[in-house]
Structure 1
Amino acid sequence: MPNLQLPGVVETSNNLGMVAITADAGSCNFMIRSLLDSGSEALADEIVSLFALSGTVAEKAGHYPGWAPNPGSPLLALCRSVYAREFGGESTVQVIHAGLECGLIVARYPDLDMVSFGPTIRGAHAPGERVEIATVGHCWRLLQAILTAIAAAADGAAVAAGRRR
C-alpha cells in the first residue's frame, strides 16, 4: 500500500516500551504504530535486521493493525452533516497517529465503514492526562444524533423498498 502523503501526520513510528536487563540476558519491547500495515511491517523487519547484524536474536510478535483514513466514507459524510446540523458549524476532521481499536476491528471486518470521535483529551497516556468535560456532553449529543440519522435512513430505505422494519 502506498504512503498516504498526509502533511503533518506521522505515518509510522516506534516507541521503546519495556526494557529488562539481567546479568545473563536482556530484552526490550518496541511498540510500532502505523496508519498502514505495510509501514509497521517494514519498520519491524528493519529493527529485526539491525539486531541480527549485531548477532542478537529478535522476534516479531503482537502486531497492532493500522487504520488508514477513508475521506470518501459515507459514514464520515453523514457524521459531518449531523455535526453541522447539531452544532451549527463544520466539524474538524483529523487524521491522528495512534493505536486505535478501529484498526483491530477493521482487520477483522475490512468492509466495515467506521469513524472515530471523542472528547478533547490533553496529555493522553501520560501523568496529568485530562479531558475537557464540556466536550464529553458534545460527543454524547453527537452520538445520539448520528444514531437517530442512521435509523431514519434505514427506515427510509425500507419504505422505499416496500417493506417496514
Structure 2
Amino acid sequence: GRVKVQMTGASGHSIVLYRMENDDICTLSIGCLMTGRAYRAEAVVEDGAEALMIPRGAFDRLMDQSAGFRLGIMESYGRRLDDLMLLVEEVAFRRMDKRLEEWLLARGALGPVMITHQELAVELGTAREVVSRLLKELERRDMVRLSRGKIEVTGLLESPPPA
C-alpha cells in the first residue's frame, strides 16, 4: 500500500512530509518511540495498506538487543532525514512557481493529473489561493488546461522571457 504523512501548521495549511510504500518505516513513529513525544502529523492511507505497530517496550528491547534491527531503524531514519532536509530546502529557498512547474512536469507527462487545487497546495506546502493563482497564470500562457479536479499539461513549462 501507500501512506502519505502530512503535517498541519497553526495557520491551518498542510504539507506532505513524505510517503511510505511497502516495507517502509514511519520516521515520525520512530521519533515518537525514541522520545516518548507525539508529533503534529497524520498518516493518510492512499492505497490499501497494512501497518505493523510495535509497542514502545518491544521497540526499546529490540534496539538494545538486536544490532540488525537497530541498524535497519537508523538507516531508515537517516534516509528519511535526508528527504526531509531536501523538502525544507525546497520550501525555504525555491520559488513556488518553479516548484509547481517541476511538480506538474514530473506528473503530467503521462496524461492529466487528477488533483484539486487544495490537494496540490498540500503537496507543495502552500495555500490553495497561491496554487490557484499560479495555475491560472500557466493556463493564461497556454501551458496547462484546468478543469474541476484535473490539470492537463499542454505545453512545455518554462520561465517566461524577462520583462
What is the TM-score when the length of structure 1 is the normalising length? 0.30
| Structure (1/2) with the larger helix percentage | 2
User: Larger radius of gyration, structure 1 or 2?
Assistant: 1
